[in-house]
Structure 1
Amino acid sequence: MDNSPTALFENYDEDFKQLVASLKGKLEGDVKTLKGEQKKAALKKVSEELDEAEEIIAQMEVELPSMPLSIRQTYTTRLRTSKEALDKVKKTLRDVRQESARSELLSGPGYPNRDDPYSDDPDPSAFSARTRLLQGTETLQDGSRRLENAQRIALETEDVGADILRNLRGQREQIEHTRDTLVQADSSIDRAAGTLKKMIFKMYQQKFVSAGIIAILVVLILIVLWSKLR
């Protein structure tokens, strides 16, 4: 399996596209046909899948700096496009939630029946306050989900950083071990060079001794020959 940054980015991008396509299909089709608790459950499921999509985006961002500079700009543009697609899905989800909240207000207790011509008009200020309250609650929930997602990504990034530090520590120990080995090898080479110099010195010494002995023998032979010829 190819674990290069480019291959991982491509895998994340493929998963992201499938997830976004699924979210669009639910928001534009299935969710609109549901009502009540079923619709709330479907919207909650969509929110969870949105968190998953944001996590995939975060993983794509992690892989981006490790890519070669020659192709990084291309993948940066693709990442920006994916973020824009995710923002559009988020906006669609907000619109669906607001529409769902308005529908609940219109059909909830205390709101007059539009089909009843004798019903009283609603209190506009109460309607507006309740709408703002629902929107504020939704914003708070969305912020909480973002904070949880950011914390999860931070923890994962911390784990990645710890792994990198452990790898660097191991590499430093290997380098130090290699350096010690080189120092020992250098010492061995120095000792071998000293031994070799001693051997060379002894070799020349033996040559000089041998030459002296030969010279003495030649002189003795010459003396013997001279004495016989005299």
Structure 2
Amino acid sequence: MDETPTGLFDAYHGDFEHIIQGVKNKLDKEVLEQYGEQRKATLRRVEIELDEADDLVSQLEIEVQGIPASIRPQYAARLKQSKIDMNRLKRVAKDMHAKVSRGELLGPGGSFARSDDPYDDERTTLLAGTHILTDGSRRLDNATRIALETETLGADILRNLAEDRERIENSRDTLQRADTSIDRASKTLKNMIRQMYKQRFILSGLGVVLVIVVLVILYFKLIRH
């Protein structure tokens, strides 16, 4: 599996598309061909699959943040379209589920009938409110999970920065010690050079003295003799 941000995004998006296509098939075909408990069971599976799709969308939101800015817009557009598709299917599923809960689904014909019960609107509102609360709770859980993951990532980044700072400070100390050692070595070399020139001067003086002594000896030996 490609572990790069784009590779992970594509993998999660592929899983999302597979789930969404299955939901579409159930809502557009299977639910309309079923009735009774079989239809309710299909709608329950739809809800489970939409929850999985919602989790994948949350993961896509995380992965898109790690994609390079130069290509991020095209992936952000795919994420936006995924949210639109998922929300549309959620509305359709909620509407069908509400009608099933009210007992408004007919038999094998698969069509939806209107009820004359004066409390239908109130029950529909209550059911819709329950679904909204459930959906809101799930989204809050996802947001909390994302916040915790972001907090953990931030802590890791801060820890890495602290380690990098420590390494830089250690390197700076090492350079300072090396600079001090170089200064000491430079002073030592200068002293050695001065000593060398001093020794050369002394040796040169001794050489001149020896030459003079030799000349004086020769003078007295050869000329004054």
For normalisation by structure 2, the TM-score amounts to: 0.79
Answering whether residue 142 of structure 2 is matched by residue 149 of structure 1, we say: yes
Q: Which moved more, 1:42-51 or 1:91-100?
A: 42-51
Equivalent runs, 1:103-118 vs 2, <5 Å: 104=103
Residues 132 and 70 of structure 1: is their aligned pair in 2 closer, same or farther, counting only changes over 3 Å?
Answer: closer
Checking the alignment, whether the CA contact within 8 Å between 1:8 and 1:63 is kept in structure 2 is yes
**C-alpha distance in structure 2 between counterparts of 1:147 and 1:33, whole Å:** 35
Which residue, out of 178, 183, 187, partners 1:194? 187
Which deviations, in whole Å up to 9, do the C-alpha atoms of 1:30-82 show, x marking residues without a partner?
Answer: 45556566655554443343333233323333333433332222222222222
Structure 2 residue 218 is the aligned partner of structure 1 residue 225: yes
Please give the root-mean-square deviation of Cα atoms over the aligned residues, in Å: 2.8
Distance (whole Å) between structure 2 residues aligned to residue 123 and residue 86 of structure 1: 32
- The one-letter code matched in structure 1 to 2:216 is I
Distance in 1 between residues matched to 2:195 and 2:34, nearest whole Å: 103
Q: Kindly, what percent of the aligned residue pairs are identical?
A: 48
The residue that corresponds to 2:77 in the other structure is 77
- Distance between the aligned counterparts of 2:135 and 2:125, measured in 1? 15
Task: Give, in angstroms, the shift of residue 98 of structure 1.
Answer: 2.8
SS of aligned partner of 1:69: coil
Aligned to 1:70, what secondary structure does the other structure show?
coil
Q: Pairwise mapping of residues 59-138 of structure 1 onto structure 2 (< 5 A)?
A: 59-102=59-102, 104=103, 122-124=116-118, 126-138=119-131
Amino acid aligned to 1:64 = V
Unaligned runs of 5+ in 1: 108-113, 115-120
| Structure 1 residue 84, shift from structure 2 partner | 2.2
Q: Does 1:180 align with 2:173?
A: yes
- The verdict on how the C-alpha distance between 1:146 and 1:69 changes in structure 2, with shifts beyond 3 A counting, is closer
User: Which amino acid in the other structure matches residue 164 of structure 1?
Assistant: I
Change (3 A) 1:229 1:167: same
Does structure 2 conserve the Cα–Cα contact (< 8 Å) formed by 1:55 and 1:153?
A: no
1:25 is aligned with what amino acid? N
CA deviation vs aligned residue, 1:145-184 (integer Å, no higher than 9, x gap): 2222222222222222222222222222222222222222
1:162 maps to what in 2? 155
Task: Name 1:117's counterpart in structure 2.
Answer: none
2-structure distance, mates of 1:150, 1:48: 19
Q: Contact 1:101–1:131 (CA<8 Å) still a contact in 2?
A: no
- Letter of the aligned partner of 2:81 in structure 1? T
What amino acid does structure 2 have at the position aligned with 1:62?
Answer: I
Quote the offset at 1:16 in angstroms: 2.1
The one-letter code matched in structure 2 to 1:78 is: R
Distance verdict in 2 for CA 1:186–1:56, change over 3 Å: farther
Shift of 1:122: 5.0
Paired amino acid for 2:217: V
Distance 1:65 1:140, change over 3 A: closer
Contact 2:16 2:53 survives alignment (8 Å): yes
- Contact 2:58/2:142, CA 8 A, preserved across alignment: no
Q: In 2, distance between residues paired with 1:106 and 1:74?
A: 42
Do the aligned partners of 1:51 and 1:149 also contact (CA within 8 Å) in 2?
no
- Equivalent residue number for residue 15 of structure 1: 15
What corresponds to 2:53 in structure 1?
Answer: 53
- Return the alpha-carbon distance in structure 2 between the equivalents of residues 80 and 220 of structure 1: 106
Distance 1:82 1:195 in 2: 74
